[in-house]
Amino acid sequence: MAIQKINYKELIANCLLELKNDTQQVAWSDFVVAFKEKIIASHNNSGNERSFKGGWVTRVKSVARDMKINLIMERDNWFIIKNSLASFESATVEANHPQDTESVSSIPESTRSSSSSKSKLGTPLNNNDKKKLLKLYESFSESKMWKLSTGKYVEKTMYTMLKNLSYEHPVCSVILDLNDQNWDDYFSADELNEINETANNKEKQPLPTDFQTFLDAIPKTTDIRAIFSHLNTQIINPLENRALYWLKMSLQNAADMFITGLLPITDENERDITRRVWSCVDESFDGSYLKFRSERLCRSSCLEKNKKRKISTNNKMERQLTGDIPDMTIYFDRYELGVAEAGKAENDSTKMLNDSSKISDVMKSMLLNLSKHCPVNKLAIEGMIMSGLSINFFQLTNPKGYVCVTNKKSEYFYPVHPFEFTKRMVPLLEQIWINKLTLEDQLYTVMKAKLDSSQSIIPPCFQKLK
């Protein structure tokens, strides 16, 4: 639908009203994120992209000027719109050329290597990429591989899986996802347990001692109003005890969502759920050096994808590739330590599997970037997937050899009824705070580490040949 055929003035005005701060300012980058879906829906594939963006900038500036709102243009994140439009166009091509019912061998090589072959149910791995990956695995030195107590080499077993592979898979990035049941065909239960124990040897961060005292004082009742009233009487100075203040406010806000009818969720979309239900994750980083930001270009991913660019000689310099844009990134300056993805439905297993695979690559790119500043065996990258009212916590490490291991550490659920309020909220909030402490500990580890000239042997993430 063309943007000229719709009067967007009222919609833009409402959005600016929601975003403006006390000084009547709105950041253009915040508007792009908040108005993303409507901007994309207005695109009609006519004209050039510069004119499309220019039309939106002019329109928003005009409305802001009429409302006496100062539109701050310091940070331009229009790449979010460009990437979404590119994904939509790719999906449109796929819809016109469905391939899920075809065997990989029946698809022509030229078709398999194009973007039109991408599907939510799997992206075929073309022969040239597979040959490149097999060559990568064959280059691994046996003396540096991860040898299990049974005598089996993890990398050699992954190589066996790769030889049987028809679709892109985390093994292409030398990632072993312990939640992937495909590995049951290649490792015994004891071997998988050994991999898991070796990969998850990081020390667990303790909770503040006053957490338990505060939680024990909460009334043992299913009366959500009584719980809210009790919490409301607790006076905690956020400047003196940030952790306990966050715990109190997170519990009180959750109770209030039941009182006001926001819970259980009904017609809320993904952004609504993230903004209201999972605000406790974002707010856990208030007062921390770490930042929790939405739809931010992943610097580590961008560096990883462009590290082989060369100065022009006989051939032109390759174009710079855009890095991945996770739903949320956790970082401090150049150090990216965690990632999160969000979805509306708890029971969308396809999205869960795809998000798990997506964040594995992003987490590995973060690990590779941090390995320049700290020995890789001291590092762990944290991941979260929020699906409706459930949240899964993941961790990626490089315990031994060339392999990165990712594993789901735990799954927690937001309450859907006041009867289970305390039962669900207490362990959930404890884990969110532990996760925040773990990330802060990782930041301190990176910044305190001595500079080491030795290079990590972790291979790069998989990139399709052009």
Q: Residue 191's pLDDT is what? A: 97
Measured distance CA(47)–CA(36) in Å, rounded: 19
> Is the model's pLDDT at 112 over the cut of 60?
no
Query: How confident is the prediction for the chain on average, in pLDDT?
Result: 86
Measured distance CA(77)–CA(296) in Å, rounded: 8
Per-residue confidence band for 91, with pLDDT thresholds at 50, 70 and 90: very low
CA distance readout (Å), 247 to 209, 251, 431: 13, 6, 12
> Is the model's pLDDT at 390 over the cut of 50?
yes
Q: Residue 350's pLDDT is what? A: 74
By percentage, how much of the chain surpasses pLDDT 70? 89
Q: What is the pLDDT of residues 31-73, one digit of tens each?
A: 888 888 888 888 876 657 778 888 899 899 989 998 899 999 8
Q: What is the pLDDT of residues 331-388, one digit of tens each?
A: 999 999 999 999 877 776 777 777 888 899 999 999 999 999 999 888 999 999 999 9
Task: Give the mean model confidence (pLDDT) for residues 238-251.
Answer: 97
Residue 456 DSSP label: P
Residue pair 279/294 in contact (Cβ under 8 Å)? The answer is no
> Is the model's pLDDT at 119 over the cut of 50?
no
452 or 106: which carries more pLDDT confidence?
452
294 or 229: which carries more pLDDT confidence?
229
Please state at what angle helix 349-370 crosses helix 299-306, rounded to 10 degrees: 70
> Is the model's pLDDT at 132 over the cut of 80?
yes
> Is the model's pLDDT at 2 over the cut of 70?
no
Q: How far apart are the first and last CA of the chain?
A: 33
Residues β-bridged to residue 343 = 387
Measured distance CA(334)–CA(369) in Å, rounded: 9
Per-residue confidence band for 89, with pLDDT thresholds at 50, 70 and 90: low
Least confident of 41-55, 91-105, 184-198: 91-105
CA distance readout (Å), 241 to 234, 245, 311, 426: 13, 6, 53, 18
Task: Give the mean model confidence (pLDDT) for residues 84-100.
Answer: 53
What are the DSSP calls for 360-385, one per residue? HHHHHHHHHHHTTTS-GGG--EEEEE
Residues β-bridged to residue 330 = 292, 338
Which one-letter amino acid corresponds to residue 263?
L
Q: Residue 405's pLDDT is what? A: 97
Q: What is the pLDDT of residues 417-439, one digit of tens each?
A: 999 999 999 999 999 999 999 99
Measured distance CA(280)–CA(278) in Å, rounded: 5
Q: Residue 332's pLDDT is what? A: 97
Q: Residue 115's pLDDT is what? A: 34
Residue pair 178/405 in contact (Cβ under 8 Å)? The answer is yes
Q: Residue 466's pLDDT is what? A: 57
Residue pair 247/433 in contact (Cβ under 8 Å)? The answer is yes
